[in-house]
Amino acid sequence: MMSTRLRKLLSSLFVAFCAGSVIVALVPLAFVLFFVISHGLSSVNLEFFTNMPKPVGEPGGGMGNAIVGTLILSGLAAILAIPVGVVSGVYMSEYAGTRFASIVRFAADTLNGVPSIVIGVFAYGVAVLPFKQFSALAGGFALGIMMIPIIARTTEELLLLVPGAMREGALALGATRARAVFTVVLPAALPGVVTGVVLALARIAGETAPLLFTSFNNRFFTTKLTQPIASLTVQVFTYAISPYEDWHRQAWAGALVLVTIVLVCSLLARIATHRLERMQAR
Amino acid sequence: MEKKDLGFRVGTGAFALVLVVIVAAIGFELLRQSSLSIQKFGFAFWRTEVWDPVAGQFGALPFIWGTLYSSVLALIIATPIALGIAVFITDLCPSWLRQPLVFLTELLAAIPSIVYGLWGIFVLVPAVRAIEIGLPDSLREIPIFSGPPLGVGMLSAALILAVMVIPFTSSVSREVLKAVPPAQREGAYALGATRFEAIRTSLFYARTGIVGAIMLGFGRALGETMAVTMVIGNNPKISASLFAPQYTMAAVIANEFTEAADPLYLAALVEIGLVLFVMTLIVNSLSRLLIWSMTRSVMVVAEPSEPVADAA
């Protein structure tokens, strides 16, 4: 048997180790944010948002086309993913105990764990190869597939939080199940569902791998959905691995824009969830 | 009324079916696109070390090695830290600090892979190179420290992967630890246990779920693409050295897919994707099974009188 003093010492060491782990994990976070902000801020200007990329060797230029591209790709993904995600979330929560609901839940979790690069290969096979053309549509399709399981699972979880009395009230008044869900239960959970969608959007806006061979890249401004389109992430990647100083500078600026999107969305979601929790506690 | 409800069920069910169809379609499509390579090389594909697209020689062993080596290294670094964080947040920290810490660790998961990669190229790799150069010559004799100090290579990849995996492992471990009945800890304290001994009891109680959390991190590490591609050096050569530039399955797809003009080349890359898909599928399913069995058994123990809800 160890002496009490030794046991207490061991215990303190353990507590110190745990506190230390938190610090060890937060150091890289601080480092990444510091470098992105300091390098990014010095290169981000109005030109960066409005101009097109310049040819190699000419300094200046911006990522205007890539920013529009990312917006278009995210929009396409949302159009595909929101209906499918929300409605399958409704199914999973309404018929939670059924075997099919468990299968769908398993499929959603599986899809969530599929590496994004594999989603890209899949989207290449079904949305690029048959048309022999890289396109914004294919990129949006790939991102949409990544978004569906996230939205489905959040919707399911949030719907299950809605008090049973609300649903029962609607049913008691003679509403059909569909009516009870779409006019009472879903609206009650709506702020949470919207938060989930915003978080999912933030996540896919930062994806690179599924776009490399679906929406590809484009040095020019385009809004044509059947053409290859630029995106912030692919542009940052191309610039980061290039040998040009000026392109590195712009890559940092692009990273700053991406991180800002993520930070703002996470904070908004945090505040919204906080409000929701307070409302439910009341 | 019954009929309308049936319509609702079938209607929403059709959307839910889309999810199942997508997963099946991914497997089917990858299999179809890689059939050329599967037929030509068979199992030799997974035992061959040569990757020479010009000569039409495709062996995937270097990529499997690189993926497994980097992921295992990342887990070795990340797991103790992630568990430490989970324990700190659930058991040790003052309650006002809990929410901010959860938020910050989740932020670690929210930062896009490409941003980690950019940071990796310009900040981490030079730092790793400096460490490699500063290594005393006596240590260089050891195989894992052999090779020129390039900075890009296995060590940089493992470090960046570890940072990216920590939030996943720690958040699931936190959930699992939260599910441990308070009686476990209270009992230990009542017997005069120190803090460490009490927490060890609950860690032991939660061991199945914690293994699940670690495997979930492993699944993430296997499929991570951009950040690794940017720092690992992209050299299809098997080496035990931490300093050697190597290659992973995800990285070779990211780098070479658009250049693969030859159908066999493309099929070989898709086959790598197929195996990556199957590997993550198995790892993630196992991980979920472990987490589920742990949290479920706890629920049963904690609330024996609770009827099973929604048995419809």
Inform me whether the C-beta atom of residue A250 falls under 8 Å from chain B C-beta atoms.
no
Contact B173, B213 (CB under 8 A): yes
Q: What is the pLDDT of residue A281?
A: 60
Distant-in-sequence, close-in-space partners of B21: CB < 8 Å, separation ≥ 6: none
Write down the mean pLDDT value for chain B: 90
Total Cβ atoms within 10 A of residue B295: 19
Q: What is the pLDDT of residues A130-141, one digit of tens each?
A: 999 999 999 999
Q: Among A155-169, B135-149, B234-248, name the one with the lowest average pLDDT.
A: B135-149
Least CA distance to B308: which residue of chain A?
A97
Q: Look at residues B51, B225, B110, B36 and name the one whose alpha carbon lies nearest to residue A212.
A: B225
Q: Compute the CA torsion angle B260, A237, B132, B108 (nearest 10 deg).
A: -120
Q: What is the pLDDT of residue B2?
A: 60
Q: What is the pLDDT of residue B300?
A: 54
Angle subtended at Cα A49 by Cα A43 and Cα A54, rounded to the nearest 5 degrees: 75
Q: Closest Cα of chain A to B91: distance in Å?
A: 10
DSSP string, A82-109: HHHHHHHHHHHHHTTTSHHHHHHHHHHH
Q: What is the pLDDT of residue A100?
A: 94
Q: Closest Cα of chain B to A223: distance in Å?
A: 22
Which of A14, A97, A119 shows the shortest C-beta gap to B312? A97
| C-alpha to C-alpha distance for B223 and B210, rounded to whole angstroms | 21
Write down the mean pLDDT value for chain A: 91
Two tokens at A189? 């959970």
Q: Inter-chain contact B118–A240, Cβ cutoff 8 Å?
A: yes
Q: What is the pLDDT of residues B47-78, one digit of tens each?
A: 899 999 988 889 999 999 999 999 999 999 99
Mean pLDDT (whole number) for A179-198: 90
Percentage of chain B beyond pLDDT 90 is 76
Contact B128, B155 (CB under 8 A): yes
Q: What is the pLDDT of residue B148?
A: 85
Mean pLDDT (whole number) for A73-83: 96
Residue B302 clears pLDDT 70, i.e. is over it: no
Residues of A in contact with B226 (CB under 8 A): 208-209, 237
Residue B306 clears pLDDT 60, i.e. is over it: no
Mean pLDDT (whole number) for B280-299: 87
Q: Closest Cα of chain B to A17: distance in Å?
A: 7
Q: What is the pLDDT of residue B307?
A: 38
Inform me whether the C-beta atom of residue B288 falls under 8 Å from chain A C-beta atoms.
yes
Q: What is the pLDDT of residue B3?
A: 67
DSSP B92: I
Residue B121 clears pLDDT 70, i.e. is over it: yes
Mean pLDDT (whole number) for A5-32: 94
Contact B165, B216 (CB under 8 A): no
